[in-house]
Amino acid sequence: MSTSPFKAYNANFAAITGPAPTLDCLLQVDEFPFAHEAGVFLAATDELLITSNQYPDPVTNVKKVQISRVVLSLDRRTAERHDVDCDAIQMGNGGVNYNNDKEVLFCAQGSMTQPSGLFAMETKPPYNAREVITTFLGRPFNSVNDVVVQRDSGRIWFTDPSYGHEQGYRPRPRLPSQVYCYVPDTDTIRAVADGFGHPNGLCFSPDEKILYLTDTDWIHGDGTTDDSHVSSIVQLLMNRYAFDVVYYSGEPFLTNRRLFAMADTGIPDGIKCDMAGNVYSGCGDGINVWSPGGVLLGKVLVEGGAANFCFGRDGELFILNETRLWRLQLGPGIKGAILGI
């Protein structure tokens, strides 16, 4: 008898899973870890854009990251993968819907010769990309990791840990590992939060009054781990809450950081909210789900864990599991906060 992948820690998890949740593998590619980061759902075409984990190029043997376009079948039971070649985006990582889905805003971790930063890539061939930002006032970023965009203001928030240098494909850092806020309209960039080991995934609550951020300091760039270091989700509260964002000259400041939750297995990496404010994160054992108050509601167990994921439509999640892409069907009332569908 098979064991259910759905593990409840709180009775409220049933409202998320619905009466008949399912978890199915849509696609498996054994040749390389194609399903690692980004996870951007394009609703108009039922496609995903995702980035691989690092792997040696079969021709040059140099480590690379491959962007893939994944086309979902009409019945949502299978998918096809296609390479997306975009030389401007070196060692791509996180991504988010951008410019009304005409583009995806990708994090490029960079290389020894190519910059790290944010690039907007068109969602249709030939996948042209334009540079959005690659330096903090002239100083190069370390290895930009994940990104989110505020709906109303258009502000772009992103994390910049030092994984690239630690893994040997970026120069020595010239900046701390920080969180940044960039305003394209005015071309202004600010460091808005520091004090992290490796700031990684980030997302806003549905009302964009809370910013959640994962710190993956438990695992180092060389793959070693340290249980004394954090593997947590930090919550930065904004507006109408006890920990406000204070505005000076129209600019937001994040204040009074507090611990939101700690992952008990592996590290919390990608992170998203649903429209009810529940917080989902890819962890070492799959997808973990917390209430807005930080209570662990339940887990969706996936062998090998989940680095990242994204919401589709009507309660579906697409889970990136290195060589496998999974489709999780939750209750139809569950909708991701980024697209709200």
**Per-residue DSSP letter, 174:** S
Q: Write down the pLDDT at residue 196.
A: 83
Q: Write down the pLDDT at residue 239.
A: 24
Q: Write down the pLDDT at residue 245.
A: 53
- State the chain's mean pLDDT as an integer: 90
Three-class SS state of 47: strand
Q: How far apart are CA 332 and CA 15, in angstroms?
A: 10
Q: How confident is the model at residue 15 (pLDDT cuts 50, 70, 90)?
A: very high
CB under 8 Å to 92, separation ≥6 — which residues?
37, 38, 51, 65, 67, 86, 106, 107, 108, 109
Q: Write down the pLDDT at residue 254.
A: 80
Residue 219 confidence (pLDDT) above 50: no
* Across 96-115, average pLDDT: 97
* Across 43-71, average pLDDT: 96
Residue 35 confidence (pLDDT) above 50: yes
Q: How confident is the model at residue 252 (pLDDT cuts 50, 70, 90)?
A: confident
Q: How far apart are CA 310 and CA 330, in angstroms?
A: 13
Q: Write down the pLDDT at residue 216.
A: 76
Residue 215 confidence (pLDDT) above 50: yes
Q: Are 146 and 216 in contact (CB under 8 A)?
A: no
Q: Write down the pLDDT at residue 332.
A: 92
Q: How far apart are CA 51 and CA 36, in angstroms?
A: 6
Residue 207: other Cβ atoms inside 10 A: 13
Tell which wins on pLDDT, 210 or 80. 80
Q: What are the tens digits of pLDDT across the range 167-200?
A: 999 999 999 999 999 999 999 999 998 888 889 9
The superfamily (CATH) of domain 6-329 is TolB, C-terminal domain (2.120.10.30)
Q: Write down the pLDDT at residue 235.
A: 59
Q: What are the tens digits of pLDDT across the range 127-158?
A: 999 999 999 999 999 999 999 999 889 999 99
Residue 240 confidence (pLDDT) above 80: no
Residue 297 confidence (pLDDT) above 80: yes
Q: How far apart are CA 163 and CA 339, in angstroms?
A: 29
